[in-house]
Structure 1
Amino acid sequence: MADLTLDRALVDSADGPFLFVVAGRSQDTEFAQGPHRHARGQLFGSLQGLLSVGIESGVWVVPAIHAVWLPPQYEHSVRSHGPFNGWSAFITEAACENLPKQPCTLRVSGLLREAVLRASTWPYEALDSVREHVAAVIVDEIRHLPAETFGLPLPKDARLLRIARALIDNPADERDREQWASWGAVSTRTLSRRFVDETGFSFTAWRQRARLLRALELLAAGEPVTRIAIDLGYSSATAFINLFRRTFGATPAVYRERLQRGAAGE
């Protein structure tokens, strides 16, 4: 089913094949879907470009070497950044019994990628024995691939969540920790302690991560590296490039090339 404009009723039906895959054509314009959910579990990723995925507990930025698993009925929103080509596998709730119960990001293996691409060519009909085997491979890969952290967890405390969302909206905001604590009506000590408790990151590390994930979105959208550095509040393009390289193992320019090439270029 090589078309993302499928009948939405299919992703909410337990009838038909227990797994089917849709793949979209390359598109130059960004797309966005607001909060929604499916009765089927969903594994989705990109062949080219970058996705950001919003769930209740956080925001994930997903390059082509990763995929997102969402259990059935899990509310989420999706947005692409820059030229994009993606795919989605939908699995009936019954077939999700032994799959992760919480959303997670997975590093896409070569086996999973090839199985998904093959399944994307199938018509929407009952699976024969050969196709059932390929579909089982996809399910097994979801079950066994290690989950990876490639997102921005959100705090649950309402005061901290307000601060976090303000920083997501404007990662370049230069207010220091004390100023943010005052703005959020929380003590500096509580801000520091609870950010670690609820996100696993210190406030400073979380803010740095928010900036770097926004940098990925801006790279995918074609923004120049120097402009990204300035817009995100770095002291210089060199400082931004060095931090980016330490975090992602490549310079922003090289990472942009990988996004443009897609998973096949990894």
Structure 2
Amino acid sequence: MPVHRQTRRIAAVTSHMWPSGGRHLWPSGETSAVQSHARGHLVYAASGVLAVHTERGTSIVPANRVAWTPAGFTHYHHAHGDTDMRIVFLAPSLARLVPDRPAVFLASDLAREVLLALTGPRNYDDDAPGYSRSARSRLLRVLVDELREAYEQPLHLPEPQDDRLQAIARMLQEKPADNASLAQLGKTIGASTRTLSRLLRDELGMTFYEWRTQLRIYHALVLLADGHDTTQTAYACGWANPSSFIAAFTSIIGTTPGRYRTSRQTTARASQRPTVVKSSA
């Protein structure tokens, strides 16, 4: 059952940056430059799905996750679906309270609201009342405290180095609903099941089933973020029925597809709250 992507809403990159953070509105498929920063930073996708690539690998950041990249780590970001990316830089005094390595945290409702507040129009719109330094400091401390209490829940998407695994990855990404076995895929590229299983174990540390499930969940996150329902997404990503998709999605993401989709819609509405204009009185 094919699922077509909805019409793109963001036509070009729009950025707002300030000393303590920023906001990037990215069209689907946009990729940032490879970079590193003198301060560590948190990123959150208020809409869309964000991939964070560092020297430690690639992490997928859906609506209920916040990604942390420490100072000095080379990284780049990739948007899947039209993406509203929020960035918060942490001073060293706060950065030392979180891990000294890239990490992905489960985002509480409070953490999401604080992130949206710290990166909303009050930070870059001249007509909106800005936060005082003390108010911002309090919000940042609340955010860091929330993350310190949160569980690390990475959704890691391994990237194979071997050209045979790369070829299979391309096939699975282009047709996530294809249920071809590893033997059938191997025949297409001229590699045996035994060789491919060994490469998967040595390079990615997982079985073919585990790898394909991760790729399908990743594709499902993009479709759900685009507004597709659970049933459409289940069949488009290769599950035989919605119930088996819900079970796999919940075991990896920590919430059902329906709740994830609802939380995306709620967050998107919150991120588009109208700007409060200063009174001229």
Q: Taking structure 2 as the reference length, what is the TM-score of the superposition?
A: 0.67
Q: Deviations over 1:72-91 (max 9, x none)?
A: 45232321436x55421134
2:45, 2:136 → 1: CA distance? 22
What is the alpha-carbon distance in structure 2 between the residues aligned to residue 22 and residue 180 of structure 1?
43
CA apart distance, 1:207 = 0.3
Identity %: 29
- Of 158, 175, 180, 1:170 maps to 175
Q: Which residue of 1 aligns with 2:61?
A: 62
Q: Distance in 2 between matches of 1:157 and 1:93?
A: 39
Shift in CA distance, 92/50, structure 1 to aligned 2, threshold 3 Å: same
Query: Which residue type is aligned with residue 50 of structure 2?
Result: S
Deviations 1:208-259 (A, max 9, x none): 2211221121122122444333332333445434544555565433332222
SS of residue paired to 2:31: strand
Choose from 215, 222, 241 the match for 2:220.
215
Q: 1:176, CA displacement in angstroms?
A: 1.1
One-letter code of the match for 2:174?
A: D
Aligned position for 1:53: 51
What residue is the counterpart of 1:41 in the other structure? 40
2:77 corresponds to: 77
1:205 positional shift: 1.4
Output the amino acid matched with 1:260: Q
Gap change, CA 1:96 and 1:182, over 3 Å in 2? farther
Deviates more, 1:90-99 or 1:163-172: 90-99
- Mark the runs of 5 or more structure 2 residues left unpaired by the alignment: 1-13, 271-281
Distance in 2, matches of 1:144 and 1:157, equals 38
Q: Distance in 2 between matches of 1:255 and 1:99?
A: 26
Q: Is the 8 A contact 1:241 1:252 kept in 2?
A: yes
Report the equivalent of 2:15.
5
C-alpha contact (below 8 Å) 1:218/1:228 kept by paired residues? yes
Gaps of 5+ in 1: 11-15
Whole-angstrom CA distance in 2 between matches of 1:167 and 1:115: 37
* Partner Cα distance (1:165, 1:102) in 2: 29
TM-score (normalised: structure 1)? 0.70
User: How many residues were matched structurally?
Assistant: 247
Within 1, Cα distance between the matches of 2:41 and 2:262? Answer: 28
Q: C-alpha distance in 1, partners of 2:249/2:98?
A: 33
Contact 2:94 2:141 in 1 (8 A): no
In structure 2, give the amino acid aligned to 1:33.
Answer: E
Instruction: Tell me, in whole angstroms, the C-alpha distance in 1 between the residues paired with 2:218 and 2:115.
Output: 27
The 8 Å contact of residues 21 and 116 in structure 1, kept in 2 or not, is answered as no
Task: Pick the aligned partner of 1:148 from 149, 153, 168.
Answer: 153
- In 2, distance between residues paired with 1:237 and 1:162? 28
Tell me if the contact between 1:68 and 1:103 (Cα under 8 Å) persists in the aligned partners: yes
Secondary structure, in 3 states, of the residue corresponding to 2:167?
helix
Matched, 1:254 2:262: no
What's the CA shift for 1:44?
0.8
The residue matched to 1:5 in structure 2 has which SS?
strand
**Is the 2:31–2:76 Cα contact (8 Å) retained in structure 1?**
yes
Match of 1:13 in 2: none
Map of 1:116 onto structure 2: 115
Corresponding position of 2:10? none
C-alpha displacement of 1:109: 4.0
3-state secondary structure, aligned to 1:33: coil
